[in-house]
Structure formats: C-alpha cells, structure tokens
Structure 1
Amino acid sequence: MPANRKRYFTELTSQSQKNKRISMIGKEIATQTLIILKENKFTSPSEEIIASLETIIFKINGEIVELIFHSDNITDFTQYLDSIIRACDKTLISHDSYHRLAKTVPNLIREHVIEKCQNKITKTMNILIPIKLFNIHSINFNDVDNENQQDIDGIEFNDDDVGNGAYQSIFSLLDIIIPILTTSLPPVLKIGDKINIKLSGNRRNVGRKQKHVMLTMCILNEKEAVLSPAHQYSICLYLEKESYDSLSTVSAKFSHELEQLKTNRYKDSNNTIWPDVKIQCFFKKLNNWIIDELHLMLRISDVLFQCLFYELIKKKDFANITQILIIAEMKRLHIYFEFYPPIMKNGKWKWTSLMGPDKEKILKDFQIRHLFDEQQAIRGQDIEHLWHEFYHLYKIMRQKSLIDKEINQFEADAKQ
C-alpha cells in the first residue's frame, strides 16, 4: 500500500492492526539492512554477508516495542530457548515471575514461547523416562510392567496422600546418562569400563509439615561430581515417614531391574553391552551400615550442626539476634537457609535440610565465633576449630591414595 494511503499509527484502533503495521516495518527494515550491509562491504570475499540484524527497540507513545529478527538457524534459537529454561529451572523462576520480568525487560523472549518450549521438553522427557504413580500400601510391587498407571502430569500430593508416590525406571535413566558420560570431554566412561551405580535414600520435610522419602541413584564413575545434587538422579519419591520397612518395600519395586543388570548387564542405545555393572545399595539398618567417607561427612555434619543450633536456641536472644546472624553468614556462603520456629508450645525449632556441597562449605568456611558473646568467645573458637579439623580429616579420606606416614598422622589427628 502506498505510504500516502496508510492511516496514521495513532488512528489504528485494534492491537492486531498495530502489530501488523509494526511487523511490516520490521520486514522493510530487514530488507534495507541487507542492502546497507552489502554497500558498506560487510561481506566475505565471496560476497556472503557476515553481519546480521538481531533486534531493534522502538518507543511508540511511551510504550516499548522490540523487533526480534530471528536467525534462520532453528538449532541456534532452540538452544537459546533451552538455556533460558535451564536458567529458570535452576533459579526457581515460575511462569508468573517470568511473565512479570518479561513485561519489565522487553528484550526477553515472551513467556508463551518459553511455556510452549517447556511443554515440549516435558512431553519428550515423559516419553524417554516415563514416570508412574503408586501407593506404598496397596500396589503390587512385583508388577513391574504395569502400564495402566495414571499420568503424572498435573498431579500434586497433599496431606491426604500419605503413602502415594512416583517412580521411574533405572534403565530409562541409564539410557539418558550413559551417552552423556561417554561423549563428555574427557569421557567419564569408556566402552568396557565397569559402571558403578549407587542407590541410596534420603528423607526430607516439605513445607515443615509433610515428610517424604526420596530414593536416588548416582554413577560413582563421576567421582567428585556425585556430591552435586544435579548428579543425584531421583528414581522414586513417596510421602511417608522414613523407616526400614518402607524403604525395603519400595526398593523391592526395583529388584527386577537390579537383577537384570546383574545377570544380563546393560545394553545401551547403540546395542553395546556393558559387561560389568556394580551396584551398591545403602538401605541397611543403622547397626549394619558399611560407612563410606561421603555418608560419614553427611551424618557427622548433621550432628555438628544440630549440637550448635540447639545450644544457641537456648539463648534468650536467639530469635531476634543469633538467628539473623546465622542466616546472614549462610548468605555470605551463598547458601539458602531458614529457621522454622516450633508450631506447638513445647515443639522444637527446625531448619533447612542441606545437601553435601553446602555442608562442605559450612564446615570449611562458616564463622562461628561471632555467634557467641565475649564471655563465651573461647567456646565459639573451639567449635569452629572442631568443624574445620573435621573438614580437614574428611578431605584426607577423599584422597585416592595415602602413604603410611599420612595414615599415621590421620589417626593421630582423629584422636585429638
């Protein structure tokens, strides 16, 4: 349409008409930009344009409008969306929060595009790693091939769902994890290596009132990486108090898969059979534990934290002063941490459950002495020294090998 026949932008009444006019401008700008780039020799010797127009921001009557000129490379744009979604997941940015953020920052990808990509990823993962529901009190755990399970999408457990849970196949997880470990640089696994799998369990309080138990698996070949929560892969989650009986019942759900791994070994997507799979299970009664250095650190750190916090909670100024100091120190270490006051009159204070990497940070760098007044300064220094010395012993235990002199020194330090 000739320019003299176009209506003024301010006279357009519907948003669709405005969007159409803006889109038309974008196409004209893109065309003219190519001409300008060629005229100014933004090209290779073969006359291929080496520059591209990415975005333009207008301000029309006080409203910010951004034109995004997507690359023809769909793969690049998909990877860009994936990176945004991963950042949102890691920082716990919800759909509503991203919607508000996108309103404030106009150059962010619109939330409906992000949501569409998230749904696509979810559907893909549901195909690759199906998630099924069960009830610990009624399900037949021997029925490992039961496909008549309710779809997990949109399911939320509440206080009335004690005993309900969800699980996913160990084989399905291995189908995703093993290719990543074999293609990483340097590769964590090579064809013919022994795959060392560890299964373990952990309990947590959700929202200070609902208890749940999570069973996880990790690939010990990843070494120090297994300390990160990102490398602890959940295979089962159910609402229940942790007990030996419940863990035994739920772990029976995976007995068939574990037996297959032991007898038939693991065959990956390339039909490569991994000849040796070693499985460690940590669902034993406490008096039968065969402890390793990681679980030793996790359990002893829990005791150290509990002893300190319960001692400080007895102080009259804990809620108004000491609690704030502890949370501030946790923030300094980049650790999310909260205290939860007792609900009942004679109840106990609770606090955020911590993972291995955060516990390591606290043992190594947490400053305890400033939590005590001048009269108890020595007490604070002694506790801080105890934490640091235990961390030192833990790091020695994590070493691949020790000479006799180091072992003797470790024994002497441990007895101090």
Structure 2
Amino acid sequence: MLSPQATPVVRATLPVVGAHIEEIARVFYRRLFAAHPELLRDLFNRGNQHSGEQQKALAGSIATFATLLLDQPDARPDAVLARIAHKHVSLGVTPAQYEVVHTHLFAAIGEVLGEAVTPGVAAAWDEVYWLMAHALIALEKDLYARGGGEVWRPMEITGRRDEGEDAVSFTLRRVDGEPAGSFRPGQYVSVRTALPDGAHQIRQYSLASAPGEKEWRITVRRDGEVSGHLHGNARAGHVLDVSMPCGDVGLDEGADGPLLLASAGIGVTPMLSMLGSLAASGSGRPVLALHADRSPAHHAHREEQAELVDALAGAELVTWYEDGADGAAARAGRIESLDGLDVREGVSAYLCGPVGFMRRVRGLLLERGVPAADIHYEVFGPDLGLDVR
C-alpha cells in the first residue's frame, strides 16, 4: 500500500497526471526508443506503437493502478496485474527492464509537467511506480519458474492448412521430439519472427488445440506485418521461436457449471481448445457457444467448431454473420442482443475477439445478471479498459 506521506500527494495530483498521462506516455516512448532502439525492433509491437494504442494502454494501466491504491488501500494488486504479467512473460521481459522504464518514464513526467513535479510529487509517484513494478516482477518470477525458466523454445511446423478466407493454421512440435507441453485451454503462446529488415517482432496466438496432444496448433489471420510474413513464408519444416504458454484466462476444468463461449473472428481459436478439452473429457456441462464473423467464408474453423459442439451433450452453437444469415442456426448482423438465448444462472462466460465486440457482449451479460467476476476475457494487443462501461 502507499505510505501515509505519499497517499495525499498522489490523491491531489492524480487528476493532473491523469489529464496528461497520454502525453507523458508518448514522450516516454520517444525517449525510451531513442536510447534503446533495440526494444522497438525486437520487443515492442511496432504496429501498436505506430497507431498509438500502446501509449493509451500504458496510460490506462498506470492511472488504474494509482486509483486502486487510493480507493482500495488494503487490496492486493495481483489480480489486476495478472494479465500484464502474463503478457510480459510471453515477451521475456526481465526485472532489469523495469529500471530502464523507470528512468525514461520519470524523465517524461518531468518534461511534460515541468515545475509541477516537486521533489515531494516525484517521490510519491516513484512509490506508485515501484509498488506496481515489484508486484509485476514477483508475479512474473513465479510464472517463469512454473515454465522451468525456459521462455523460448524452437518448434518445427509440421503442417499448414487454410482455415477460412484469410486464416491459416500451423501445427507445431518441439524439435527435440518431446511433447509440446501442457497448458490451460484458453492460453496463448508468443511467436518471435525474424522479418526482412532484421527486426525480431513478437506476436501472441491462442493455442487452438486441446491440451494433452503431442503437437500444438495456432491459427493466424493475415492482418499485420508478422501475420503477413507467416502467411507468405511459413511452411512445413520451418522452425519458429515459440514461448511457453501464457494467459491468465483459462477454462476451469474442475468446475461443472454452465459455460458461455463468445467469440468473434479469429477469437474462435481459444474456444476450440476449450471445446476440444470438454469433448475429450466427456464433459456434460451445458455449453452455449456464440460466434460472430463477417461471413461464413471468413469463419475460421467453422466446420470444426460445429463438430465439437455437436459432440457435447447439451451444447448449442449460434452464429452471426454481418453479410447475412446462412442457415437456420445463423443470424444476420452483429450480436446486439441475447434475447432468446438460454443464458443460465451460474454461467461462466469466456470472451475473445475485438475489444469492441467483447465490451458489447460483456455489457449484455451484465444486463442479464451475470456477475462481472464470472465474465472472463483475453485481449491480444493493448488492453484499453474493457471493464469500463
């Protein structure tokens, strides 16, 4: 928790810092990459930096953490920070990099706020930063230890298959012949890719296979420089650098209550892992699977998803297509209402897809009385505050 000395200072200055936090983030990244260009080349997502999305995410995380320290001084921050910690581990972030971030972040705060940053203000916000940093370092240390300290492993592509109009799946096996490894249904891995300009960019992809299989499977939709490179160049026999499985959102396989799995676009992939795991275990849990896409042709793994749902007693699949309904089980447009759907009491909901889609479905579930704690989601890319309605 914040010290008695820092608390009133942070409370008094939070509105000012919050009003300038996006500018502070922009200046921070400019300073950081000027001093450490290798971080932009080999660690940070260049696309998110160009769009400004990463700056917004950093701003939001700092402001949210400071607010939490003020409003809930006795609460542990681990639950709030878990998603960030998993993303950091999937990138191989080290404790030493927090020192680098601190240096350039506080230089940016001074540049933007000027004389308003008195020694007392700087000390109070320094406390906020290190409370957040040390909590993340501790969480990440534990996650690294669970993975045996091995973040990256070489994995060979054993198969490639088109999945819908603009997606392709890859099956992966360890080059040493050992099983790919265990994971929770719903988790993801990072793929580190060497690009033609010499950069090594990292992107996250959900594991679309069920746990327990010797090989892993990921599905890549062509929508950026890394996915485009994989589409154009990755073939069977190629070796990729793949991270340990990460992600704090995973199916609770020990539970027995009803499930709602809502996905859009390539967000179907973690749902395939969950459905496959349920089918393999002979689960009798009621499952309502919802999927939205541009069209049937864009619906990656369409037949496989339907087959997995059909293999589960008491499971139902409902689809929405923006280009128009396709068959009796499909609806036209986007998911704008849950009317007529059997959203059962005690349901655990899992969401994956674009942030706007997940925010909309989360709101619909809250309106139906589903507790916020029972709605789980995964964000690929900067988390821009899905929980804010």
TM-score by length of 2: 0.28
Larger Rg: 1
User: Higher relative contact order by CA 8 Å / sep ≥ 6: 1 or 2?
Assistant: 2
Q: Which has the higher helix share?
A: 1
